[in-house]
Amino acid sequence: MIIKYIKLIIIYTASALFAYLIWVFLSYLIVPFSPPLHTIKVNTWAQDGYFKILPGKYKNDKYNTFYTINSKGFRGPEFSVKGQKYRIITIGASSTMGLESNEGETWPSQLQKVLLKIDILSK
């Protein structure tokens, strides 16, 4: 009986560790594409061709749009690590990040309006 519980504890611990590692990877996800032509602050890894947008407020002059990258690397306002709601992370290319759209005009923002009690995080 105790061996059964020990196996369950090992499986649970391994699952939690795996989930944590996936979360760490996703929170620091770097996209393997070249950065957009408009002026944004990015960390680049030239040897790999990867980049990550740095936190801050940005303006896209070409499309006259404004957007914010929070301290966790997501588009939008800051959010607490612990939430009282379910959260959905959206991951995708330019249509998800929406650098050509103002805050509230991207499809993740529209989804959040539909699902009022869920935080939508866009990467």
Nearest of 111, 110, 108 to residue 122 by alpha carbon? 108
Residues in the chain, total = 123
Q: Which helix (H) or strand (E) holds 121?
A: strand 119-122
Distance in angstroms (rounded) separating the CA atoms of residues 14 and 23: 14
The model carries a pTM of: 0.55
pLDDT (tens digit per residue) in 54-64? 888 888 888 88
pLDDT (tens digit per residue) in 61-114? 888 888 888 888 888 888 887 777 778 888 887 788 887 888 888 888 888 888
Question: Per-residue pLDDT averaged across 24-31, rounded?
Answer: 62
